[in-house]
Structures are given as structure tokens and as C-alpha cells.
Homo-oligomer: A and B are copies of this chain.
Amino acid sequence: MNHKELIGAVAARLDMPEDYVSRLLEVAVDTMSAQLCEGNQVGVQGFGTLEVRRKEERISVNPATQVRTLVPPKLVVNFKQSNVLKDKLKGLPHE
């Protein structure tokens, strides 16, 4: 499901114009991004928590050439599912 389909589905369920849903989601995403960029975690009820984690630098070896490269440290956003979402996933088959 892409962004447009998500907006369409939410708008249909709430019987609201898509523009409206789109604007609200945009502001929500922007607010969450700003919090993450300040180093704060963001919790969304019934869904999960987002936070920025630092990945340490590491040495990567190209298996074909054996050339070793230093991968610099980087910041990634980590999502931790809430227990509610975890329970919902239990219904999903382990492919």
C-alpha cells in the first residue's frame, strides 16, 4: 500500500475529503520527523515507537574482491512494535 492508497483508504473510512487526510498526515509525519531529528522518540498508541539509533562504523569486505572498506557510523530510525501490533501479527502465517 503506497501513500496515495493509504490516504484513499483512510478518507473512505472516515468519509472525509482526501485533501484533508493528506494534509493531516503530512503534518503528523513532519511533526514526528522534527521530534526524531531532535533525538526524541515518538510513540504512536496501538502501533509502536520510533527512535533514532546510532549504527557503529564497521568494516565491510567485498566478497568478490576481498577489498575492505570502512562503513562510517550512521543514524537510522528504529521502529519497535507495540504489544497490540505484536499480538495482531501472531495471526499472520510464518512464510
Residues of A within 8 A of B (CB): 1-3, 6, 9-10, 13-14, 16, 21, 23-33, 35-48, 50, 52, 54, 73, 75-79, 81, 85, 88-92, 94-95
Contact = CB atoms under 8 A, between A and B. Distances in A.
- Interface centre among A25, A35, A48, by most chain B C-beta atoms within 10 angstroms, is A25
Nearest to A22: B45
A37 B88 contact: yes
**How many identical chains are in the complex?**
2
Contacts of A28: 6, 10, 21, 25, 28
Given A10-B28, A14-B27, A77-B81, 17 more contacts: A1-B31, A1-B41, A2-B43, A6-B42, A10-B27, A10-B31, A21-B28, A26-B45, A29-B44, A33-B47, A36-B88, A37-B92, A39-B95, A52-B89, A75-B90, A76-B81, A77-B85
